[in-house]
Chain A
Amino acid sequence: MHWLSKRKYKIGLLIPTLLVYSVFIVIPIIIAVGYSFTKYSGIGKARFYGLSNYIRLFSDKVFWISLKNTMIIFVLAFVLLLTISFLVALLLNNRLAGADFSKALVFSPAIIAPIIVGIIWVYILDPNIGIINNVLDAIGASSLKHKWIGGEVFSPYSIAVIYFWQQLGYLVTIFIAGLKMIPGDVLEAAQIDGASGVQKVRYVIIPMMRTTISTVSVLIITGVFKIFEIVQQTTGGGPNHLSETLVTYSYSMTFSSSDYGYGMSLATFTFILSLVITGIYSRITREKEA
């Protein structure tokens, strides 16, 4: 196996990946950033526009609404997904009756296409035809009815809940895989030392699962900044862009308004924001580990 570690072989093996990564990831990002400094309708030639798109960004009310919505979804999804998926994984990792069935049940939303997830939740949350408001009507609690989607307030919260529902099973599976990696004798030793269940989690499991927790956290952060189909299917970003996220607003400006330059400045901002948040998170966790 020694020969594989030679520099020229390493390079040779990396080339296909680097090529694909460059052509489909790096170059499109560079092109998108380039377009963010232009005025371009998608037809003809792009015109250099300096920083105008970025200046417009900060005076655009819809941009701030979409940023606020994205951050609401991010905070809610991060807190709920990280804690609950970990707790569910702890529960399902025990040899309980029906654990395998429960695992399959929890994982099932993750295999449904996001666009279908959106359709399912429309039938739950829609103010007129949705199950929630109809049940509230049926039990005489009409005062609790709200526009869960399509109103001015609840849409981002509803989207966070839908995203949580969709992602839970996937993240639980990662956590379970992490839990399986913990050597049984370590947990046994903790038990012999008299550690309670909570103490085992606090002092043994969590420290030994730092890498898994970091991976899940990064997946949540990057995932939130990619939520698209759920918003399109439930609200289409409406009413009046009030439920837009950064990604859907970027899409709307690029393809509905044919304002490619401005759309790309939104995309660039979103890209940088997700990089910054991931970077901050990595730094914090690295410092803790150190």
Chain B
Amino acid sequence: MKSKSMKKFLSLILSSTMVIGMLSGCGGNEAADVSKDESGATVVKFGIHVANPKEQEVVTYNIVQAFNEKYDGKYKIEFEASDKEAHSKNMKLEASDGTLPQIFWLDASEAPEYSDSGILLDLTDFLNENTEIKDALGGMETAFQDDNGQYGLPYQCNVQGIFYNKELFDQANVEYPTNDTTYEEFIEMIGKLKESGVTPLSIGSKNSSYAMWEFNESLARYGWEENINGILDGEKKFNNPDLTACFEKLQGIAEAGAFPENMATIEYFDAKQLFDEGKAAMFGTGQWDCAEFDENIGENIGFWWGPKFTDSSYEQDIAMKVPSAPIVVNAEVADNDAMKEAVYEFLKFYYGEEAAEISYEGSIFPATNYSDVSATESQYSMNAMLEALGTGWTTPQSAPDLTVTSAVQEALYNSMFGVMQGTYEPSEALDKMDEALSYSK
């Protein structure tokens, strides 16, 4: 009797497990399945890194709406939206159970690992079939190539640097920074701005240590691009004289009182608010904040690449105009011609001239470059950036922080903020990066 009960018990457990297992197995190869909406349009899922694209990625949202309108009843793009951290987690989970969306945004530091795992579609054919797009990208696509091919295309073009509020500079009787402003002059500038009662350079590290875009320029001016491959290959260390000098400058900026005292307890958005409200004279960010600055600061906005360093032997005429994170295509899309066609049509539209116009209207630099599209007069922030770009300086292939894996990237952010907050000495901070690199291998 006892043994019979036990058998029944075991059978029940096994059958339940089987049912759960079967249910969990239902998700495989979803990307290749063509789903249609009520109008018969092929639905393509687009995984994006913001929770509310309509509010937080207005340009992408508008491009998608324009595409859906143009191809009404034929193709339809639907967002799969969640904030950056949740999006990153979701994509990893969906990659493991085969339920990734057809198109998705990826952090540049994570994309190569996806590519190595064979999850991403090689888009070389797409570019070869659409040479006008390849020309319009102007080589920006090379940031997302590896041995597996063209694993992604730039989502946008990022222009990163320091925005400044001319009104606050005037009030403090400080000259606006120029392309030739040196680090020493920058330190003097910080002192005068601080004396005038404003925060010289707003920044926040709480849950947003990635918000260090203004210092990508400093890293580049101390030879990041020239040395990073050697460092990643183990021939050199992060703790080298060039990067030590760079981190010492960060320390100097912090000691001059450039940052908010509560930088450890405010986020990027709080720091930006200080700048928007005229409580901070400068703020490091990229073109994605242009529309907000037009609204809050208007014609008083200025843009600057950051200080030049007289003790560096590396190129100083660098404009931080780089491809942003890639959008990628699920490799399973290739298994279904109808789905592949829909995805390629969307990519053609996204990298076409019409989408570029929508981008400029929303004060975002598209990854493509079409000669007939540009900013309007009232787009003050974007025009300030365009003026800075007018120098024709050299541009790196990728932003320094996007050239390393997630673990090293996190260590880079942590180290830079450690120096800025006075918890690390420059050499100690660089050792942390070397340590992170050694563990990531």
Contact = CB atoms under 8 A, between A and B. Distances in A.
Interface stretch (B111-119, B121-129, B372-380, B392-400): B111-119
Which of B95, B410, B424 has the largest number of chain A CB atoms within 10 A?
B410
A239 interface: yes
Interface stretch (A146-154, A206-214, A269-277): A146-154
Interface string A64-98: 00000000000000000000000000000000000
A122 interface: yes
A256 B406 contact: yes
A128 to B, nearest CB: 4
Contact of B92 (A23, A43, A150): A43
B261 interface: yes
B435 to A, nearest CB: 9
B157 to A, nearest CB: 26
A45 B439 CA distance: 17
Nearest to B265: A150
Given A239-B417, A258-B406, A259-B439, A127 B119 contact: no
Contacts of B147: none
A53 B110 CA distance: 21
Interface string B1-27: 010010011001100100010000000
Contact of B206 (A8, A43, A235, A242): A235
How many of chain B's residues touch chain A, expressed as a range?
A: 35 or more
Nearest to B89: A255
Contacts, number: 104
B418 A41 contact: no
A149 B265 contact: yes
A23 B13 CA distance: 12
A252 to B, nearest CB: 8
Contacts of B113: 41, 43-44
Nearest to B119: A43
A56 B267 CA distance: 30
B56 interface: no
A255 B407 contact: no
A232 B207 CA distance: 8
A43 B117 CA distance: 7
Interface string B190-234: 000000000000000111110000000000000000000000000
B88 interface: yes
A286 interface: no
A26 B437 CA distance: 34
Contacts of A41: 110, 113, 405-407
Interface of A: 7-8, 11, 15, 19, 23, 41-45, 56, 122, 126-129, 147, 149-152, 232, 234-236, 238-242, 252, 255-259, 262
24 contacts: A7-B2, A7-B5, A19-B13, A19-B16, A41-B406, A42-B89, A43-B114, A43-B117, A128-B260, A128-B261, A128-B265, A150-B265, A234-B265, A235-B264, A236-B207, A240-B414, A240-B424, A241-B414, A257-B406, A257-B410, A257-B436, A258-B110, A258-B407, A259-B440
Interface of B: 2, 5, 8-9, 12-13, 16, 20, 85, 88-89, 92, 95, 110, 113-114, 116-117, 119, 205-209, 260-267, 405-407, 410-411, 414, 417-418, 421, 423-424, 436, 439-440
